[in-house]
Structure 1
Amino acid sequence: MNYQIELRHLHYFHVLAEELHFRKAAERLFISQPGLTRQIKQMEEIYKTTLFERGKRTVKLTEAGQYLKQEVEMLFNQLNNMHTQVQKIGEGKITTLKLGFIGSAVQTILPELLVKLKAKQPLIDVTLNELSNEIQMEMLLKNELDFGFVRTESYPLDIATLPILTENFALVVPKNHLLSNKKKINLLDFKEESFILFSKQYSASYYDLVMSIFRDHQFEPKVALRTVNALSIFNLVSQGLGIAIVPSSLKKGYNADVDFIELTHIPQRTTLYLAWSQENRNPGIQLFIDILKDIKK
């Protein structure tokens, strides 16, 4: 039989790959179960490989099926993006941009970037999502985000980056802490304190960088709590549940009852990066990068 793969085949495959159940997938697709079975069989004949392992009560993806599922998800994401971009251009808008960010980006460059972007392209649509570094990376690779503002030193090969700001760390302590006004801070003075830190889910490389500060001072911190949210950290510190180490830019923009002690004497610094996929063909990508470069001049 001389079949050709069509989008409907890929759509049927994708739904079945999600459901792993022929009846449920057929119901979602509003087709008969035998009809779905025929479509999948056609695909397997075209690709000359089995995509699903069928048991009496189970359906599983083969290795080839798992690969195809990933590729089909990327394809449909790209088709959705293409649909959105064509629609926006038809409305007279240059594009739509989906941005991911961590909290410190809002306290530094992101507001200025958005103001300049809107000045150049008033009709541009921008969607903002506060997300952890790791989730931003996953979404950038799938073209579910156009840009990410991240703190991580480890990037997939397809991700391009531009450094935005390198800064000191700061110690966050409750208001009127006994050591707040000490002229020369030694982290060893806080050895017995409980620490509240950004978790490894925030960024594995960022977490390792913070832990290297403690290693340099030759003690293992008592980590009481971990979170991915800066405001949660500040609120917990203000309640006396521990102290924290954060990028110093986070002292801006939060109304929390805490003191910040900048750690200028340690060698560790943290960098905020703009990240994007080199495979992303969104027409607004270069515009956004050019605006950032103008700001940094």
Structure 2
Amino acid sequence: MSYQIELRHLHYFKVVAEELHFRRAAERLFIAQPGLSRQIKQLEDYYGTPLFIRDKRNVALTEAGSYLQKEVDLLFNQLGTVKEHIEKITEGKITSLKLGFIGSAVQAILPQLLVELKKQQPLIDITLNELTNEVQLEMLSKKELDFGFVRIKETPIGMESLPILTEHFSLVVPKNRFPTKGKVNLQDFKQESFILFSKEYSNSYYELVMSIFEDHDFVPHVTLKTVNALSIFNLVSQGLGVAIVPSSLKKGYHTHVDFLELQHLPQRTTLSLVWNKQNRNPGIPLMLEIVNQFKNIKT
């Protein structure tokens, strides 16, 4: 028997896949358990394959069920986005944008972009989330973010990227502890403890920083790692080590440290704007237009 699949079938499947328990799923959905089982059976008949493995004690997703769960999650996320955009249009707003960023983006360019965006579209809703690179990329793939400000070596498949700012590094040291003038020789710091952004901040960024030490023929004694710039500066100010960070981070923080420029090193780090190619948020072209305008002004 063939059935016409409706959105409710997928909604029921989504809840069962989350609960992996038909009784609990039925309670969440406020329907009888036999009725829920019939709906899932209709869905399985439609696709021609079991979606769940059932026995008296356990419920598990089949391989096909696991695939469908991912697709259904994306579908309902997109439906939620459509509803949100329609609500904004009804309110007279063009759309809403969810932006992810790493801490250095705030010091480099993000505030100026937001000022210009609000100037051109004052009714647009903007949500900001400070997140690590890896979390941003994951959320972008699920369309849970519209844009991410990240530091990555390569643009992931399915994404687009636009370089925003390329900069050199600085060595962060306790205030008045080391000479602040003249060319810095990292060999002079090989016995120091280092405090670095962890791989969770960005794996490719971490590898880039480690290549600096490789060029100077020593392995740093990394005693502490974090994803937060202010934490790094506070730890350095307490004499717990020195750090290497993007130079833009010397702006906006009032901490008891000195920044020693490393402009002579070949390594550079690039802050990029990344978005999902499949994201149809109407605010994306607007944001890209403003970013390009801003870049043209800066150049």
TM-score normalised over the length of structure 1: 0.97
Q: How much does 1:37 deviate?
A: 1.3
Tell me what 2:75 maps to: 75
Alignment correspondent of 2:287? 288
| Secondary structure in 1 matching 2:108 | coil
Deviation at 1:211, TM superposition (A): 0.8
CA deviation map 1:12-40 (0-9, x unaligned):
11111111111111111111222211111
1:239 is matched with which residue? 238
Counterpart CA distance in 2 for 1:192 and 1:32 is: 69
Name 2:202's counterpart in structure 1: 203
Matched residues in 2 for 1:222 and 1:64: separation?
48
Map of 2:26 onto structure 1: 26
- Where do 4+ consecutive residues of structure 1 move more than 4 Å? none
Count of residues in correspondence between the two structures = 296
Structure-1 separation of matches of 2:220 and 2:213:
7
Describe the SS at the equivalent of 1:107.
helix
Offset of 1:184 from its aligned partner?
2.3
The within-5 A match list for 1:216-231 is 216-231=215-230
In the alignment, the residues of structure 2 paired with residue 31 and residue 40 of structure 1 have an alpha-carbon distance, to the nearest angstrom, of 13
3-state SS in 2 of match to 1:60? strand
Q: What's the % identity of the aligned pairs? A: 70
Aligned pair 1:131/2:131, yes or no?
yes
Contact kept in structure 2, 1:173 and 1:180, CA below 8 Å: no
What is the deviation of 1:188?
Answer: 1.2
Kept after mapping to 1: 8 A contact 2:172/2:259: yes
User: Within the alignment, does 1:261 sit opposite 2:260 as a pair?
Assistant: yes
Report the CA distance shift for 1:180/1:72 in structure 2 as closer, same or farther (over 3 A): farther
Equivalent AA in structure 1 for residue 55 of structure 2: G
Which residue is 2:211 aligned to? Answer: 212
Residue 113 of structure 1 and its aligned partner are, at CA, apart by: 0.7
> Corresponding residue for 2:168?
168
* Separation in 2, partners of 1:82, 1:219: 53
Q: Distance in 2 between matches of 1:97 and 1:184?
A: 43
Q: Which residue is equivalent to 1:87?
A: 87
Which residues of structure 1 form unaligned runs of 5+? none
**Structure 1 residues 94 and 188: CA distance shift in structure 2, 3 A:** same
Q: Over residues 155-200 of structure 1, what are the superposed CA-to-partner deviations in whole Å (9 max), with x where a residue is unaligned?
A: 32111000000000111111112x3335221111111111111111
Distance between the aligned counterparts of 1:180 and 1:74, measured in 2?
A: 54
**In 1, distance between residues paired with 2:87 and 2:127?**
16
> How far apart, CA to CA, are the structure 1 residues paired with 2:223 and 2:56?
49
Give the equivalent residue in structure 2 for 1:278: 277
> Aligned partners of 1:90, 1:168: CA distance in 2, in Å?
46
Cα pair 1:209 1:268 within 8 Å, conserved: yes
Is 2:180 the counterpart of 1:181? yes
Q: Structure 1, residues 48-89: CA drift from partner, whole Å, max 9, x if none?
A: 011111133221111111111111111111000000101101
Contact 1:180 1:259 in 2 (8 A): no
Q: Is the 8 A contact 1:171 1:243 kept in 2?
A: yes
Q: 2 CA distance for matches of 1:23 and 1:285? A: 42
- In 1, the alpha carbon distance for the partners of 2:86 and 2:76 equals 15
Q: Amino acid of the residue matched to residue 135 of structure 1?
A: V
User: How far did residue 154 of structure 1 move?
Assistant: 2.7
The 5 Å alignment of 1:111-150 reads: 111-150=111-150
Q: Is the 8 A contact 2:180 2:258 kept in 1?
A: no
Secondary structure of 1:127's aligned partner = strand
Q: Once superposed, what is the RMSD of the aligned Cα atoms? A: 1.0
Q: Any stretches of 5+ residues in structure 2 without a counterpart? A: none
**For 2:94, what is the secondary structure of its paired residue?**
coil
